[in-house]
Amino acid sequence: MAFEGITTALVTPLDAQIEVDEKALAELIDFQIKSGVHNLLALGGTGEYSSLSNAQRKQVIDITIREVNGRVPVMVGIVDPGIGDAIDIGSYAKEAGADGLLIVTPFYVRPTQEGIVEYYKKLDAALDLPILLYNMPAKTGVNMLPNTVETIVKETKNVVGIKECSVDFAQTVELIRLVGDKISVLAGEEYAAVASMIFGAKGAIMASANVIPEVWMEFYDLIQKGETEKAIGKNFEAYPMFNAIFLEGNPGPLKAAMKLRGLTTEQVNIPLLNAKDSTVAALKKILPTVEV
C-alpha cells in the first residue's frame, strides 16, 4: 500500500483519570474522515505513545481500527528504542488489522547508520507489513541520512515510505531525489510541509491536522492542481497557528486548541502538562484567523 496525501497524526484523548477516552477518540476519527483526510495515524509521538501503558497502546489500536472500519488506511506509530518492543506492538497492530506501521529510528543508544539499516531489515522480516520509516532527529538524537534510507529501501521489501522531520530542508530535497520515485516521502514538520510537497513529497503526516484538517486538505489540493503560489500564501496565513500549537511540548497546546473547537479534552499525561493559560489565550486569538 502506498500512503500518500494528508495523514492526521491523531492525539489520544484522555479523561481525568488518564484513561483512554473511547468516545472522544471515536468522535475525532469521524471528524477527520468527514474532513477528507487520506489516512490516519494512531499512537506515534502526537498520540503520546511514550507515556501510555502497553495495554493502553493496544486499546488505542483496537478502537481506531474498529471505528475507522476500512474507510481510510490506518497506520500505527511505534516510538520504542528497542527491537523487541517494536516487534511486539507491530505484531499486535498487524493482527488487529492495521494497514501499515510508522516506526521511529532506534534512539538513546545513538546507533550508527549501519545499525539503523540492520534495525529496519529485522523489523521488515519480522513484521511483513508495510513500514514507513520515521526520522525525527530533534527528539531521537539520531539522524537517518538520505543514503541510509536509499540502502534500506534497496534491502527490504516492505518499506513503502518515510516521515521526514529533519529541519534541514536540503536533506529533505536530497531524500526526494534519491527515493522519491520508489517510496512515499511524507513531510513531518508543519513549517516545511508545503515546501516539501511542492518539491515532490507525496503528502504529509501532520499533528496540526487534528484541529485544522480542512486547511491541510486545501494545501494538498492546491499543490496537486499546480496552484503553488496560492498554497504558499495560505501557508503563511497558517504560520501563527503553527507557532501557537508548538509553544509547549506537543500535544499540550494542540489538545487545548482542539478543546476550543470541541474536539477533545485538553488532558495530557505526565511528564507533559496541560497548556498554560497564556498558551490558551494565544490560541484563542489565533484560531479565528485560520479559515476552516
Q: Which residues are tagged catalytic?
A: 134, 163
- Write out the DSSP string of 90-122: HHHHHHHT-SEEEEEPP-SS---HHHHHHHHHH
Rounded to an integer, what distance in angstroms lies between the CA atom of residue 56 and that of residue 15?
A: 13
Rounded to an integer, what distance in angstroms lies between the CA atom of residue 37 and that of residue 233?
A: 21
Looking at the chain, list the stretches that DSSP marks H as alpha helix, in order from N- to C-terminal side: 22-34, 54-68, 83-96, 113-127, 137-140, 146-155, 169-179, 190-198, 213-224, 228-245, 252-260, 277-286
